[in-house]
């Protein structure tokens, strides 16, 4: 009998890319909305819910934060 393990995504994996948990939550929610509206996946993640895909994209470094320059 073969045992297959699935690659699991953890919040700790994502916090390596976005170290602020509040900001991580906001980025993940925004990405889930984009995926729900039809955006293409940035990582291969068939048959997963949008939140799992979003977290995998963040952990892979495919989704980043765009910081605006402050207006003077």
- 45 and 53 Cβ atoms separated by less than 8 Å: yes
**pLDDT tens digits, 10-20:** 889 999 999 99
Q: Which two three-digit tokens encode residue 40? A: 């293409």
Domain boundaries, the chain: 16-59
16-59 CATH? 3.90.940.10
Residues 6+ apart with CB under 8 A from 64: 17
The residue count of the chain comes to 72
Q: Could you tell me if 44 and 3 are in contact, meaning their C-beta atoms sit under 8 angstroms apart?
A: no
pLDDT digits 0-9 by tens, 14-61: 999 999 999 999 999 999 999 999 999 999 988 889 999 999 999 999
Question: For the whole model, what pTM was predicted?
Answer: 0.80
């Amino acid at each position: 009998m073969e045992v297959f393990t699935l690659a699991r995504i953890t919040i700790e994996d994502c916090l390596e890319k976005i170290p602020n948990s509040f900001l991580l939550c906001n980025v993940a929610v925004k990405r889930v909305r984009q995926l729900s509206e039809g955006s293409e996946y940035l990582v291969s993640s068939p048959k997963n819910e949008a939140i799992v895909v979003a977290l995998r994209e963040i952990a892979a470094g495919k989704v980043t934060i765009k910081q605006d320059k402050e207006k003077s």
